[in-house]
Structure 1
Amino acid sequence: MSAAWLVPLEAVRTNLTVVNSRFISSLAPAGNVTEARHYIQVIRKEFPDATHHVPAFIIGGGNSATESCSDDGEPSGTAGRPILTVLKGSGLGNVVLVISRWFGGTQLGTGGLVKAYTEAAQQALRLVKPAREVLVHRLELTLPYPLYERVKLETAAIGATIVHENFDEAVHLAIELAVESLADYQRRLDSLSSGRLQPTIVDSGIRRRPA
C-alpha cells in the first residue's frame, strides 16, 4: 500500500539573500516526529553561527497530519507559521524544513520577515522531486538457470526490483516489490514454474519511489 499524499524524494537546499540577511533552506523527508526533530538538530549543528534556525514539519498527511513550527526568536508569527503555511500548500507529507538566517544588520520588519521566509520556503519546494512512500517486501527467490530470463521479465512487469543476484548451482535473487503486488507476482511465478518457485519474505519496510 502507499500513502495518499506525496513526500520529498530526497533532501534539497537553497540559498536566498534579502537586504543583506542570508537564508539557507534545508528540506528533507522525515518518517516521523523523532526523525524531523533530529534533522532540525543536525541543521543547528551544521550552522552554529546562524542567528535563527526556523523549523516547520508535517508528519503524515491529510486530516491526520501532525504539524509543528517555531519562530526561534523571530517576532511572533513572522517565520515559523509562514513556512508551515507554504508546506501545507504544497500538499506534501512527511517533510521537514529548516530555514537558517544570518542577520545582515538591516531590520526587515514584520512584513519583510514574513515575505522573506515565505520566499525562502517556496524556493526550496520548487526543487523538491515528489515521491510516494510504498510498503515493500524484501524477497529471496532461488530458481534454476533456464527460468532466469523469464523471471527477470515477470519481475520487471510487476514493477518489482532485483536488488541482488548470486549465481552458483542455481540463481539466487533478492527482490523488492510493493506488498500489494505480492499475490500477483506469486501467480506469475506459479504460471511459469508450475508452482515450484516460492519466494521467501525476509524483510518489509517503507521505500520512497518517484511519483
Structure 2
Amino acid sequence: MSDTLQTLAGRSQYEQEIKKSRFLALAAPVATPEEALAFVQASSDPTATHNCWAYRIGQAYRFNDDGEVTGTGGRPILQAIEGQGIDQAVVLVTRWYGGTKLGVGGLVRAYGGTAAECLRQAERVPIIAMATLALRCDFADLALLKARLPELDVTVEQETFHADGADLQLRLPAARVDEARERIGDITRGRSVAQRTDESATLTASPPPASPP
C-alpha cells in the first residue's frame, strides 16, 4: 500500500468469469457519499443476480452485499479499495449467477479480486491536502496579488469588495501555505496578513469526479 493516497483519474472497468458466473467491476472517483450512491444506483443492473458495492471518502465509508452471504461482497470490495491506498472512490461489482455456487471463500475472492483488478488497471492521480486562507487587501495591491499568487497554485475562491479594498478567500495546497503567506506579505509590504480559516486540511485530486453514466 502506497504512503500517498490516490484516487482514480476517471472511470475504470474489469470483467471476468468465475465458474460460469460473470463478474463486472465498475469504479469511479467521487467527492461525496451522495455522488457514490448516485453512481451505484445509475450503474447497477436490475436484471443481475447481485450488485455489491463499496466506497471510501476520507473517514466516510459504506458497503453493501446486496443479498450475497454477509461479508462476502461489499466488505471485500472495500478491502480492495483500502489495500491499494485509494480514497474518494466507489466500486460496484455486478454478478450474473452461472449455476455453480462459489462458497463463502470463493465469493470473497471473486468480489475482492474483481474489484482489485479493476483498480489495478485504473489510471490514478495523487490526492493533495488543501488549505484555505483569508485576507483583506487594498485596491492598490489587488491586481498584483491576483497576478502573482497563481504561481503558488493559489486560486481565488471568493472576492468581496468594500470601501477600502477587497476580502479574498484563497485555496491552495497545504504544503504551500507558509510560502504564500510570505509572498502576500512581500507583495503588500506587510499591509495584508493571510489567516488560515480551515480547521484541518481537506483533500482534493486534480481531475473532477466522474459523473454517473
TM (norm. structure 1) is: 0.63
State yes or no: 1:47 paired with 2:41. no
Aligned counterpart in structure 1 of residue 115 of structure 2, from 114, 120, 123: 120
Structure 2 distance, partners of 1:27, 1:88, is 15
Once the two structures are TM-superposed, the CA of residue 99 in structure 1 deviates from its matched residue by 1.6
State yes or no: 1:99 paired with 2:97. no
Question: Where does 1:78-157 land on structure 2 (aligned, <5 Å)?
Answer: 78-103=72-97, 105-107=98-100, 109-110=102-103, 112-117=106-111, 118-137=113-132, 139=134, 148=143, 152-153=147-148, 155-157=149-151
1:11/1:27 contact within 8 Å kept: yes
Quote the residue 2:7 is aligned against: 8
- What runs of 5+ residues in structure 1 fail to find an aligned partner? none
2:127/2:205 contact within 8 Å kept: yes
- Paired residues, number: 197
SS of the residue aligned with 2:147? helix
> Percent of aligned pairs with the same residue?
22
Change (3 A) 1:143 1:89: same
Root-mean-square deviation (CA), in Å?
A: 4.3
Which whole-Å deviations, capped at 9, do the CAs of 1:17-73 have from their partners, x for residues lacking one?
414624132343455xxx16x62364135435132121223454xxxx566544322
Q: Structure 1 counterpart of 2:50, which letter?
A: H
Structure 2 distance, partners of 1:146, 1:68, is 47
TM (norm. structure 2) is: 0.63
Once the two structures are TM-superposed, the CA of residue 74 in structure 1 deviates from its matched residue by 2.1
Structure 1 distance, partners of 2:121, 2:51, is 20
Once the two structures are TM-superposed, the CA of residue 208 in structure 1 deviates from its matched residue by 0.6
- What runs of 5+ residues in structure 2 fail to find an aligned partner? 160-164, 207-213
Structure 2 distance, partners of 1:54, 1:190, is 53
Quote the residue 1:208 is aligned against: 204
Once the two structures are TM-superposed, the CA of residue 16 in structure 1 deviates from its matched residue by 0.8
